[in-house]
Amino acid sequence: DGGITQSPKYLFRKEGQNVTLSCEQNLNHDAMYWYRQDPGQGLRLIYYSQIVNDFQKGDIAEGYSVSREKKESFPLTVTSAQKNPTAFYLCASSWGRVQDTQYFGPGTRLTVL
Amino acid sequence: GENVEQHPSTLSVQEGDSAVIKCTYSDSASNYFPWYKQELGKRPQLIIDIRSNVGEKKDQRIAVTLNKTAKHFSLHITETQPEDSAVYFCAADIINTDKLIFGTGTRLQVFP
């Protein structure tokens, strides 16, 4: 299960605070993705990046921001504008084509109190 | 917008029985349909995928079938084992994007 890591595993924050989730991969993959997983709602795409210094909004980007300054890193910031931030967040990476296997990280469970 | 519907949301079977999970997609131009398995407390992993130029693909006890006319595809697991217990997600690509859209997941429980 190595190759793509997320930290921390559990994260607690107070309402109104921004928080940044880390995602790192050493697979030399071009593409990276952030998903949000809620019970009964599957995996919903937040942001994705096909190349360094470029990224696109997914289906639920409001209240989130990302950066892709390095190929191996794709941090996600959950801002205070996200109305329901408590969720399980999964990062993934792939070679870039939609048909390429996405390899997921272990996830970060964010709880906003 | 585009979506993928997945049924059932939960499925319980006896060990040795077969399990079938069905997904319907809305984008008639979709060409790629992967299935991911997420065991409890673990990350999702690709278990099988199918492209639109084939109707069926098998890998040992798992198979996927695709009906492009009806816009649905299914995962079949035969001779189920307790280690098949997990949440299964189907997905479909969105044409002219680099995105997958996932179904809502099926929790499969295999009882010994």
A67-77 per-position pLDDT tens digit:
999 999 999 99
Residue of A nearest to B103 (CA): A42
Q: What is the reported pLDDT for A2? A: 57
Answer whether A7 touches B (CB < 8 Å). no
Summarize pLDDT for A5-19 with one digit per residue, the tens.
999 999 999 999 999
List the single residue in A with minimal CA-CA distance to B97. Answer: A98
User: What's the CA angle centered on A91, arms A70 and A23, to 5 degrees?
Assistant: 40
Contact flag A31-B45 (C-beta cutoff 8 Å):
no
Residue with tokens 């408590």: A86
pLDDT at A109 over 60: yes
* pLDDT digits 0-9 by tens, B19-75: 999 999 999 999 999 999 999 999 999 999 999 888 999 999 999 999 999 999 999
| Nearest by CB: B43 against A31, A45, A105 | A105
Q: How far does the CA of residue B68 sit from the closest CA of chain A (Å)?
A: 17
Set of chain B residues whose Cβ sits within 8 Å of the Cβ of A42 = 6, 89, 102-105
Interface check for A32 against chain B (CB to CB < 8 A): the answer is no
Judged by DSSP in three states, B82 sits in helix
Q: What local confidence, expressed as pLDDT, does residue A39 receive?
A: 87
Give me the pLDDT at residue B2, please.
84
| Both tokens assigned to A63 | 């209240």
Asked if A43's CB is within 8 angstroms of B102's CB, the reply is: yes
Residue A1, pLDDT above cutoff 60: no
Of B24, B11, B104, B6, the C-alpha closest to B66 is: B24
E strand spans, chain B: 4-7, 10-14, 19-25, 32-38, 45-51, 56-59, 62-67, 72-77, 86-93, 100-102, 106-111
Contact A88, A62 (CB under 8 A): no
